[in-house]
Amino acid sequence: MDINETENTGFGGSEEPVGGPGAAPAAKSGKEKPGMVDEIIEWVKSIVIALILALIIKSFFIQAYMIPTGSMEPTIIPRDRVFGNRFVYRLHEPKHGDIIAFRPPDVVAESEHGKITSFLKRVVAVGGDTIAVKDGKVILNGVPLDEPYIKAPPRRDYPMRKIPKGYLFMMGDNRNNSLDSRIWGLLPEKNIQAKAFFRFWPPGRIGILR
């Protein structure tokens, strides 16, 4: 007999499957796929977790702002949307040049619709500084600032003023069309909401704010 042939041990009949005709069917391997109800429950869990995380991030870390006016042109223009870091000023004090979202002082806190709004301006002076505007230049501690980000030099002068600790002097980059510290006074640091750091809309203007 050739060794490649299969030997038939019966008397001409074919072999039966292992276990014989009365054997029980083999058990299914693995677990069955979850039903539709289980899948819905998992989706609901995922959505709830995502919402909770979003609320935590918004409450403690990141806030989105839509810019309605041109007071920060050309850096930020109307309808731009930016992210603000709500946590950073727990680590250090505001710095010159920071763009900050804040609750305006009480004198301007009520908008024309009767709701409290957020303002977005640039930090020009911090506590301990002296500030003045003269001949189209902002003078900080006796030194004219180089401000490549402004739309145009300010047309109006502002008398020298010393900034007390715990307060900021804020100005819009559109110096001749901005409701800022030259009009409503100093900003208490307690009014700060976030440091604006990134423009996420529109797509053609996405980028870091400076």
pLDDT at 46 over 80: yes
Whole-number pLDDT of residue 35: 81
**What is the pLDDT, as a whole number, of residue 59?**
61
* Peptide bond just before 94 cis, omega within 30 deg: no
The pLDDT tens digits of the residues spanning 133-165 come to 999 999 999 999 999 999 999 999 999 999 999
Is residue 71 among the annotated active site residues? yes
Residue 197: per-residue pLDDT: 96
Average pLDDT, the chain: 83
Rounded mean pLDDT, 71-93: 95
Domain 58-127+164-203 has CATH 2.10.109.10: yes
Q: Provide mean pLDDT across the span 178-196.
A: 95
Strand order in the sheet with 143-144: 143-144, 137-140, 130-134, 158-162
Q: 10 Å Cβ neighbour count for 53?
A: 10
Share of the chain above pLDDT 90, in %: 63
Q: Does the pLDDT at position 209 exceed 50?
A: yes
Residue 15 has pLDDT above 70, yes or no: no
CB 131 within 8 A of CB 158: yes
| Cβ neighbourhood burial of 85 (10 Å; 0-12, 13-18, 19+) | middle
Q: Kindly state the average pLDDT of the residues 66-78.
A: 96
Asked if pLDDT for residue 78 goes beyond 50, the answer is yes
- Is residue 173 within 8 A of residue 151, CB to CB? The reply is yes
Local confidence band at 5 (pLDDT 50, 70, 90 cut-offs):
very low
Q: Catalytic one among 121, 178, 181, 195? A: 121
Query: Does pLDDT of 75 surpass 50?
Result: yes
Q: Quick one: pLDDT at residue 149?
A: 96
Predicted confidence at residue 14, as pLDDT, reads 41
**For the segment 87-98, what is each residue's pLDDT rounded down to a tens digit?**
999 999 999 999
What separation in angstroms does the CA of 187 have from each of 34, 100, 108, 143, 166?
58, 11, 11, 22, 9
- Set 45, 58, 59, 71: catalytic member: 71
Q: Tell me the average pLDDT across 170-190.
A: 96
String of DSSP letters for the chain: --TTSPPP-SSSSPPPPTT-TTPPPPPPPSPPPP-HHHHHHHHHHHHHHHHHHHHHHHHHTEEEEE--SSTTTTTS-TT-EEEEESSGGGTS---TT-EEEEPPPGGG-B-TTS-B--EEEEEEE-TT-EEEEETTEEEETTEE---TT-SS--SS-EEEEEPPTTEEEEE-SSTTS--SHHHH-PEEGGGEEEEEEEEEESGGG-EE--
